[in-house]
Amino acid sequence: MGSFITIVAIMTGVGLFFGIVLAFANKKFAVEMNPLIHVVEDVLPKGQCGACGFAGCAAYAEAVVMNKDVAPNLCIPGKKAVADQVAKLTGKTPLDVEPVVALVKCAEPISVASKKYIYSGINDCLAASLLQSGPKECEYGCIGLGTCVKQCMFGAITMNAAGLPVVDKEKCTGCGKCAAACPKKVIDMIPIDAHVSVICNSHDKGAVVKKFCKVACIGCGLCKKQCPHGAIKLENSLAVVDSSVCMEKCNDPVCLEKCPTKAIRSYKILELELVKAV
Amino acid sequence: MMDYFLLFMGAVIVNNFVLTRFLGLCIFFGVSQNLSASAGMGMAVTAVMTLSSAFAWLVYEFVLVPFDVTFLTTITFVLLIASFVQLLEMVVKKYTPNLHKMWGIYLMLIATNCVVLGLPLINVESGFSFGKSIVHAFGSGIGFALAMVLMASCREKLRLADVPKSLEGLGVAFIVAGCLALSFFGFSGMIK
């Protein structure tokens, strides 16, 4: 009996001691956090993708509440609904979110492209591109080992049978992780309503590029001359479309017919073409 | 002096908590997918182990032994470590918010992990003095961190390798851990 009391006393004593210490510490070491930050964080999609430019949803919630210069529409996967809610909660003026999706600017899969060497090594595009800019003859093209596919946390980008990544426009939230991960910078973020897009990334001159790729942009400039709205520019032997001008003014793209290599294509039917390709 | 050094080296390499004693495996496999997370977790575990084993030794010597209730050791240590980790988290959050951002979330995960509980119990069993307990605890923490960093480096490479579908993830991780443990067994018997 005596030892029983001792046991109970000791356990109660130790328990009470720590209980009191913790209760006291809770008050003394309390860190004040604005409750609005938690409310804003709840509204965000919590994908932790970093498209907003902050280190995760919690960091963005804190920044948008505490800093009056941080815009409420930075969450791209959240789209307009989230941007409006964040604006309402933080009392800032609601702004539009430009919905963007990823586009892989390469039309020649690694399985049919002419190659410099046969690559046998780590299944990673960055690893392959360290060896003389990759196994493809074209040093700007997609290597097809799927580093972008591994990065996507929404499952929006998949590798087709030929070895080219294909973006599912429904699932893509425009976070930009695939574009950042690609060592060749072949992935571009373009507005979802774009009319046309150049699916080539090669800055090589026409004479050089024709030797190893049939669907590359040769930098001839025909699209630039034909475009009545001046939406296309040539940058270092590669055609670049200014999406905002193109979407605003053009109803009937002439550039699509004039391109000799079909490097510029209609964005709406692009996905179907690339999946069917080869 | 040599005693302490040998004890430290013993805890880090010869009697490595994860690879030789097989404690703390859930953290080991859970966090070792990422090298920076492993480094952070290793630091958190070292801090918790060293400090909590110091407190545990004090409670054992000045409360449990005088009252002759050493059979309460396990449960008292559990209570003590859980409370202590809570306290540590509050202090870290308040005074070093940057450190808290780095490894604050891991503190809750290791609150009563077997490695953090096992260490004071081993100290008590071996009858270490206060100084030796601290050195042993610190060495064990460093050994744990070492094992985690080694494993993380292997696992990051494994992610890009061609692993059979049925062994992907934990399967091949266990096999690699087994190989690592085998190599650490080579040290056995070096230090008594």
Asked if A3's CB is within 8 angstroms of B86's CB, the reply is no
Q: Which long-range contacts (CB under 8 A, 24 or more apart) does A272-276 make?
A: A274/A107, A274/A160, A274/A164, A274/A166, A274/A199, A275/A160, A275/A166
All residues of chain B having their beta carbon less than 8 Å from the beta carbon of residue A6 are: 67, 69
Query: Comparing A42-56, A181-195, B18-32, B134-148, which segment has the lowest mean pLDDT?
Result: A42-56
What pLDDT score was predicted for residue A274? 56
CB A163 within 8 A of CB A272: no
**Average pLDDT value for residue range A79-105:** 81
B63 to chain A: closest CA residue: A10
Instruction: Delimit the CATH 1.10.15 region(s) of chain A.
Output: 35-90
pLDDT at A155 over 60: yes
Residue A132 touches chain B, beta carbons under 8 Å = no
What pLDDT score was predicted for residue A278? 43
From residue A217, give the alpha-carbon distance in Å to each of A231, A240, A252, A263, B72: 17, 10, 21, 5, 78
What pLDDT score was predicted for residue A271? 59
pLDDT band at B173 (very low <50, low <70, confident <90, very high): very high
When scoring B61, B77, B88, B90 by the number of chain A Cβ atoms within 10 A, the one with the most, hence best to mutate, is B90
pLDDT tens readout for residues A165-207: 888 888 888 888 888 889 988 998 888 888 888 888 888 888 8
pLDDT tens readout for residues B64-80: 888 888 888 999 999 98
For residue A222, the Cα-to-chain-centroid distance in whole angstroms is 31
When scoring A5, A24, A29 by the number of chain B Cβ atoms within 10 A, the one with the most, hence best to mutate, is A29
Instruction: Delimit the CATH 3.30.70.20 region(s) of chain A.
Output: 100-276
Class of domain A35-90: mainly alpha
What pLDDT score was predicted for residue B105? 73
- Can you list the positions of beta strands (E) in A76-127? 100-104
pLDDT tens readout for residues A224-276: 888 888 888 888 888 888 887 887 788 777 888 888 888 888 877 665 555 55
All residues of chain B having their beta carbon less than 8 Å from the beta carbon of residue A10 are: 63-64, 67, 69, 72, 76
In angstroms, rounded to a whole number, what is the distance separating the alpha carbons of residues A215 and A199?
9
Q: Using a cut of 0.80, tell me whether the model's pTM lies above it.
A: no
pLDDT band at B99 (very low <50, low <70, confident <90, very high): confident
CATH topology of domain A100-276: Alpha-Beta Plaits (3.30.70)
In angstroms, rounded to a whole number, what is the distance separating the alpha carbons of residues A197 and A190?
9
Angle (CA) B69-B75-B79 rounded to 5° is 120
Residue A66 touches chain B, beta carbons under 8 Å = no
Query: What ipTM does this complex have?
Result: 0.73
Of A7, A22, A30, the CB nearest to B83: A22
State the nearest Cα–Cα gap between B167 and chain A, in angstroms: 17
What pLDDT score was predicted for residue B136? 94
From residue B126, give the alpha-carbon distance in Å to each of A10, A252, B15, B16: 24, 85, 14, 16
What pLDDT score was predicted for residue B63? 85
pLDDT tens readout for residues B2-12: 889 999 998 99
pLDDT at A1 over 70: no
Asked if A127's CB is within 8 angstroms of B75's CB, the reply is no
Percent of residues, chain B, with pLDDT higher than 90: 34
Residue A269 touches chain B, beta carbons under 8 Å = no
Asked if A30's CB is within 8 angstroms of B83's CB, the reply is no
Asked if B87's CB is within 8 angstroms of A10's CB, the reply is no
Asked if B67's CB is within 8 angstroms of A6's CB, the reply is yes
pLDDT at B56 over 70: yes
Closest CA to B85 of B128, B56, B123, B127: B56
All residues of chain B having their beta carbon less than 8 Å from the beta carbon of residue A11 are: 72, 75-76
All residues of chain B having their beta carbon less than 8 Å from the beta carbon of residue A30 are: 94
What pLDDT score was predicted for residue B54? 93
